Copies of this chain bind each other. A is one copy, B any other.
């Protein structure tokens, strides 16, 4: 679940998602978009239950599912059967899994698909806030008697010319709003060098780390990554922090994964179910 710009986005929906969402008390009313990275069961079997429960809870706002086109083919007959007469619409937006492109765009933020390397077509997602306009400084408006009608223009970067011909530069009238935040989610994927450019400088990168480097053969065969590889992407891309997850059952102690990643990229954290990360 990603919360950004007062909106909630669900990313992947394995079995039990609706139960976990209740547990962490997600405000489902603000969730209008779901992104599915790929069509393996652990990433989408929870959709039908979630959609059906939202219907029973009385949802009326439409919901958009961004996913590979096959998902609609598979899910539509289930929806028609199990969710007949529901008071809200479920729309599907088909993602081209081989194309990096903006798949969601509103006034405040975008979501971009990031083609990954997995056994089936698979996409990561980059959530990026847009730069917000600067804040105006009320005291300066008073001092120079600037009409409030000028606010939009000044937020847009204009300077102000006073009645007596004095030019007040924009920098004296505004202060910059906080830097936009970005988060990239990359699961499931083999090591993919092109990710480095795509996630460069994000505040937070989630990258799967299914295996240790000692299981490299398995990682390659199953098209997953090692903790070392995840950390390498993080380091090369200069991200703020790295979150790792999607541990194999081979891993008896996730601390070993953490240690392996930290040798390459210090600011790494393990993720676990129900974890909340603030940015």
Contact status B41-A52, CB under 8 Å: yes
Q: B-facing mask of A43-58, CB < 8 A → 1, else 0?
A: 0011011001000000
For residue A39, CB closer than 8 A to chain B, the reply is yes
Q: Please give, as numbers and ranges, the residues of chain B lying within 8 Å of A16 by CB-CB distance.
A: 15-16, 19
A16, B49: Cα distance in complex, Å: 10
State which size class the interface on A falls in: 10 to 19
Q: Which residues of B contact A40 (CB under 8 A)?
A: 82
Contact B77 A46 (CB under 8 A): no
The main secondary structure of chain A at its interface with chain B is: helix
Q: A15 contacts which of B18, B74, B78 (Cβ < 8 Å)?
A: B18
Inter-subunit contact B49/A41 (CB<8 Å):
yes
Q: A15-B15, A15-B49, A49-B15 are in contact. Are A41 and B82 (CB under 8 A)?
A: yes
Report the nearest B residue to A50, measured CB to CB: B15
CB-defined contacts of A82 to chain B, threshold 8 Å: 39-41
Closest residue of chain B to A53 (Cβ to Cβ) is B41
Give the copy number: 2
Q: Kindly list chain B residues whose C-beta atoms are within 8 Å of the C-beta of A78.
A: 74, 78
The distance from the CB of A50 to the nearest CB of chain B, in whole angstroms, is 9
In the complex, how many angstroms separate the beta carbon of A274 from the nearest chain B beta carbon?
14
Measured between beta carbons, the chain B residues less than 8 angstroms from A49 are 15, 41, 45
Distance in Å from the Cβ of A216 to the closest Cβ of chain B?
Answer: 22
Verify if A70 is at the interface (C-beta below 8 Å from B): yes
Mask: chain A, 23-65; 1 = CB below 8 Å from B; 0 = not: 0000000000000000111000110110010000000000000
Interface string of A8-27 (1 = CB under 8 A from B): 00000001101100000000
When each residue 142-186 of chain A gets 1 if its CB lies under 8 Å from chain B and 0 otherwise, what string results? 000000000000000000000000000000000000000000000
Which of A41, A52, A78 has the most chain B CB atoms closer than 10 A to its own CB? Answer: A41
Interface string of A75-90 (1 = CB under 8 A from B): 0011001100000000
A46 to B81, CA, bound (A): 16
A15-B19, A19-B16, A70-B81 given; A41·B48 CB < 8 A: yes
Q: Which of B45, B48, B77 contacts A77 (CB 8 A)?
A: B77
5 A-B pairs with the lowest CB-CB distances in the bound complex, closest first:
A15-B49, A45-B49, A41-B52, A16-B16, A41-B82
**15 residue pairs bridging A and B, Cβ less than 8 Å apart:** A15-B16, A15-B18, A15-B46, A16-B19, A39-B81, A39-B82, A40-B82, A41-B48, A41-B49, A41-B82, A45-B48, A45-B49, A45-B52, A73-B77, A78-B78
